[in-house]
Structure 1
Amino acid sequence: MERITVWVDLLYKLCTKQKTQKAEASSSDNESELRLTDLLKSPAEALSTGKYESLYKVKVDNFNGGKTVVVKRIKKLLPLSGHDFIKKMKTLRQAKHPYVLSPLAFYCQRPEKYQVQEELLIYEFQENGSLFKLLQGKSEGFDWSSRLGIAAMIAEGLTFMHQEVGEKLGIAHGNLKSSNIWLSSNMEARISEYGLMDPDDDQLNSSSSSSPSGSEAPNALKEDVYGFGVILLELLTGKLGNIDGIDLAEWVQSVVREEWTGEVFDKELIISDPSNEERLVNLLQVAIKCVHCSPEARPSMNQVALMINTIREEEEKS
């Protein structure tokens, strides 16, 4: 893992607000708790790096007695203005839910003409990493009950956000995928990066599991439903969506059409408890509804959450 002692370029760009007025920032509810200078001078471990976004794990000594946070650094070519970004972030942070990971702080560097915009999003560190990494590693003990519970938590959190900021303000997640689902120390699922994908910004969405019809309004909320459906398929199959040119949703639908449904599921789920197969099929039916090719035919997230809760209730009775 890359080790960084000082984020020199960001320190120069973002900590000159009083001199250049090119940086805008909005920190935590108590701004004295997490200062940008403390953050950028702290040792950081690069978790992932890319052309447009990078992820860092940082221990900030002067924040809550040495709290560990995750910092997402985003570069945008066609960004919102710094003012619009901060306004949007403040709106999103007002919608709080236990299964939604809201930023502890966020910062934005306003670009000169033709320059990229830099954004920093600071989140509470989640001990069990992302759902993507868990599926990729096929961790032992990731049984049916755990997967169903995670699906239910994501559905509940996404339903809340759709009702609070989706239907009222027209803000969808826009990039829902397993790498944006984080798992706490007790395996609670938390949705991150809600509403951060600009409607016209495809540069960060190259690896997402968006539906073939795109994510323009007014179907943006139904695109989230599609993304959730892909996550369900990943949980059921143990495979990752859209990896190596294979579209998971298309593959599953083709197998089901050939009436080979049993071939879809992660073998570990069947071997560990053969009695789960009926509930696996029920959840698969929910997933297939979510990834329907027509956005209008997909259920709402509220309907999806109710269907998943029904499956959980049936399991508890058995």
Structure 2
Amino acid sequence: MMLTVTNDEKTTSSSLTPAPEQPCRCFSMFELSSATDGFDEKWCIGQGGCGKVYKGKISDGPTNTYAIKRLHFMSDQGEPDFWVDVEMLSRLRHCNLVSLIGYCNEGKDMALVYEYMPNGTLYDHFHKKGTVLNWSQRLKICIGAARGLHYLHTGTGTQHGVIHRDVKSSNILLDQNYAAKIADFGLAKIGPTNQTHTYVSTAVKGTFGYMDPDYFYTGRLTRKSDVYAFGVVLLEVMCGRPALDKSLDEGLAIWAQDRIKQGNLTQIIDSRLRDHISKSSLKEFTRTAV
């Protein structure tokens, strides 16, 4: 029998109070505008539904360079996600989670300031830059992301864990050493960790291609929803294809799993990896992904 835990879309601070808070600085929009030359497009390093992300220089911080996410003033999703991000990241500490440095809240002018990740997103390396990542690099990235996700689910130091709800390759960022850090907690939800089968009833949100079918059809969110999405990321890393590949008749998850069941594993792996992976490593990786 499943225990239903209802939860509204706004995370309450009491959910995670036992965890220590990180110092979170309040910036003025003037400071952030100065750091980005008036939010000049030449410093834009990313864009999402809620706004753009800029590379910025702030001289009196612990480092000089930061990622500044400015929310679009017309975004209905932006403000709730903004406060969830602040709420989550000010209370979570792990080497495989992106650190929140501070925020700006001046009416319609809202922004989040994160540590800067010089190697961008995992998605960009595979699907935009065409970076050739060897098998060891890919394994290191996947293991780092898995550790961050495991911490969210079980290791936050409280009886409540965090369900990310939007695990995907574009939310896995890479530092100067290609170490992986999970980012973007705007859709995250709090859920009990002491009962494996407990779920949170919530509006269905996430990204198609990574979304757990059970969650999509029932609205019952569990840690397994994140695990499903992470499995899609693993297939993406192995195959070198996006989760929604226009050249396929179905999503990557279905396409890859069907061919794995048929024993066509060597036909679906990234062509740049062939003859560069041991059979035992590939077998174990595939088993984990499936």
TM range (shorter): 0.7 to 0.9
Could you tell me how far 1:164 is from its partner in structure 2? 3.6
How far, CA to CA, are the matches of 1:261 and 1:49 in structure 2?
A: 35
How far, CA to CA, are the matches of 2:24 and 2:31 in structure 1?
A: 15
Could you report, residue by residue, the CA deviation over 1:212-245 in whole angstroms, capped at 9, with x for unpaired residues? 2336775331111011111111111111111337
Structure 1 unaligned segments of length 5 or more: list them.
1-27, 112-117, 289-318
- Is 2:266–2:274's contact at 8 Å kept on the other side of the alignment? no
One-letter code of the match for 2:138?
Answer: R
Could you tell me how far 1:139 is from its partner in structure 2? 1.6
Q: Specify the SS of the correspondent of 2:273.
A: helix
Larger Rg: 1
- 2:50 counterpart of 1:46: no
- Is 2:174–2:180's contact at 8 Å kept on the other side of the alignment? yes
Could you report, residue by residue, the CA deviation over 1:33-89 in whole angstroms, capped at 9, with x for unpaired residues? x54421123224122335433222222244347x1111223455257769xx64773
How far, CA to CA, are the matches of 1:201 and 1:218 in structure 2?
A: 8
Q: Specify the SS of the correspondent of 1:41.
A: helix
236, 239, 242: which is aligned to 1:237? 239
- 2:277 counterpart of 1:286: no
29, 41, 45: which is aligned to 2:23? 29
CA RMSD, Structure 1 to Structure 2 (Å):
3.2
The aligned runs of 1:125-204 (5 Å cut-off) are: 125-136=116-127, 137-140=129-132, 142-165=133-156, 168-194=159-185, 196-197=187-188, 199-200=202-203, 202=205
Q: Specify the SS of the correspondent of 1:155.
A: helix
One-letter code of the match for 1:236?
Answer: M
Could you tell me how far 1:110 is from its partner in structure 2? 5.9
Q: Specify the SS of the correspondent of 1:236.
A: helix
- 2:115 counterpart of 1:124: yes
The aligned runs of 1:184-263 (5 Å cut-off) are: 184-194=175-185, 196-197=187-188, 199-200=202-203, 202=205, 205-206=206-207, 209-214=210-215, 219-244=221-246, 246-263=250-267
- 2:76 counterpart of 1:77: yes
Could you tell me how far 1:29 is from its partner in structure 2? 1.9
Could you tell me how far 1:174 is from its partner in structure 2? 1.0
What is the percent sequence identity of the aligned residues?
25
- Count of residues in Structure 1 that have an aligned counterpart in Structure 2: 247
Query: Whose helix fraction is larger, Structure 1's or Structure 2's?
Result: 1
Q: Which range moves more in the overlay, 125-134 or 162-171?
A: 162-171
Q: Specify the SS of the correspondent of 2:215.
A: coil
- Is 1:48–1:56's contact at 8 Å kept on the other side of the alignment? yes
How far, CA to CA, are the matches of 1:231 and 1:218 in structure 2?
A: 21
Greater RCO structure (CA 8 Å; 6+ sep): 2
Structure-1-length-normalised TM-score: 0.67
Structure 2 unaligned segments of length 5 or more: list them.
1-21, 190-201
